[in-house]
Copies of this chain bind each other. A is one copy, B any other.
């Protein structure tokens, strides 16, 4: 095949890049660090969006749209937020180009300097809370549950397609509440929405937990996260939900009259997932033949490849295939008949394997005579010959099996690579082998930082659902007392 993919065992990082490029998911653009998301990749992202969007709406969240630009001064308002976000970002300083008086082309018009620079949003807490100020007067105006789907920019020195790009697409939810308890419940509800999405749509087992203070969002009192394990044993943070307390309400002076007539600052949450999920999806399930897509997110769930020698055979097989396509579509599935007559079947097989289509149907003249088809599964790379009669219903069930199987495989892999570790010497060796280490930690930022400095490992989360621990012990690093194990890993 022309499109050979590097093996995972040879070079995991190159394997990832190969998949993204060769399966037509995304590519680098002419602008440093900004990617082009190609139609096949974007179709997966659209499926993610549509499922997530429905989940958000089912819990009462509404979509809205806030400006791309944020006045520079807004970043100085919330002290911790400045440190976290007002650093590497795109700064708009001028609003006009003009023809170069000295030659060809265009130059920036020096007369068109902005009075105050504008920052391309790296995240929108500041501009949104400056807006909420006008929307909120009384407790009757609360809660406000808004989300936006948009692009954001964080200038990154080293970029990788989907995983870390200067511009990326995401959704950011920003909610305003009358009480701390309500905001905390919202924070938890949204991380659970993400966990449920990751598990059921992405077939991605995730651990839900609290971030340690060092890893919290800049300006948050608590950050909840879903953490996934990639096939190389590294962790990938796949979504976060932040309890922001009253920090932004205080910075932007957003108060409401409570039902006792008193003025109070509003309580806030924010939560987001991004096109980074695409990276997580690719790295969790795919193999050396290419992508493996869970059926729920596959733009094409079933591909059909005709085998033929003559035009008559081609047409006869295609006729039957379009019949089966109709049956499958009636069951809600997306189907492609690959009727290109300039390519050999073997080429087509490899191409659809590379693109991760969950089920492939092949049919030839002899199948037509016998009333059979060959059905191949992408996840197991197995195939079987079966009766044409009832094949649509069979595949309907098969897609469901594949979705479950992909999840189970990823879950088994993860569980096999989560292990307890109780000594610092052991930790230093074990962490280099990949996987998640469940360790005791004394709860201090200093210890966490020291461990990171020595091993690059960070606390991915203090688990809330899987691997929850209330076992007492002593910190692997400081030997001080600990009230439970946390998850350490090297992360993306």
A residues in contact (CB < 8 Å) with B? 27, 29-31, 34-39, 42-43, 45-46, 62-76, 82, 86-99, 104-106, 108, 117-120, 127, 130-131, 134, 140, 146, 150-151, 153, 155, 167, 169, 342
- Whether B89 contacts A91 by the Cβ 8 Å rule is no
A92 and B90 contact, Cβ closer than 8 Å, known pairs A34-B67, A68-B151, A127-B29: yes
Closest residue on chain B to residue A45 by CB atoms: B65
**A211 CB → nearest B CB, Å:** 25
**A93 and B68 contact, CB distance less than 8 A:** no
Look across to chain B and name the residue whose beta carbon is closest to the beta carbon of A151: B68
A63 and B42 contact, Cβ closer than 8 Å, known pairs A96-B155, A106-B82, A118-B90: yes
- 7 A-B interface contacts by CB (under 8 A): A29-B67, A31-B127, A42-B63, A75-B106, A90-B118, A91-B97, A95-B155
The CA of A134 and the CA of B30, in the complex, are separated in Å by: 11
Q: Which of B29, B36, B62, B131 contacts A29 (CB 8 A)?
A: B131
Question: Given known contacts A63-B46, A64-B38, A106-B82, is B72 in contact with A97 (CB within 8 Å)?
Answer: yes
A205 to B266, CA, bound (A): 46
- A37 partner residues in chain B, CB cutoff 8 A: 64-65
Which of chain B's residues have a CB closer than 8 A to the CB of A94? 90-91, 93
- A-B residue pairs, 9 tightest by C-beta: A34-B67, A39-B62, A76-B105, A37-B65, A91-B94, A95-B155, A93-B93, A90-B92, A31-B67
Interchain nearest-CB distance for A485 vs B (Å): 38
Q: A106-B82, A106-B86, A131-B36 are known contacts. Are A31 and B62 too (CB-CB below 8 A)?
A: no
Chain B residues closer than 8 Å to A99, beta-carbon distance:
82
- Which of A63, A69, A82 has the most chain B CB within a 10 Å cutoff? A69
Question: Which B residues lie within 8 Å of A71 (CB)?
Answer: 30-31
B91 close to A167 (CB less than 8 A): no
Choose from B29, B31, B75, B151 the contact partner of A151 (Cβ within 8 Å): B151
Inter-subunit contact A97/B86 (CB<8 Å): yes
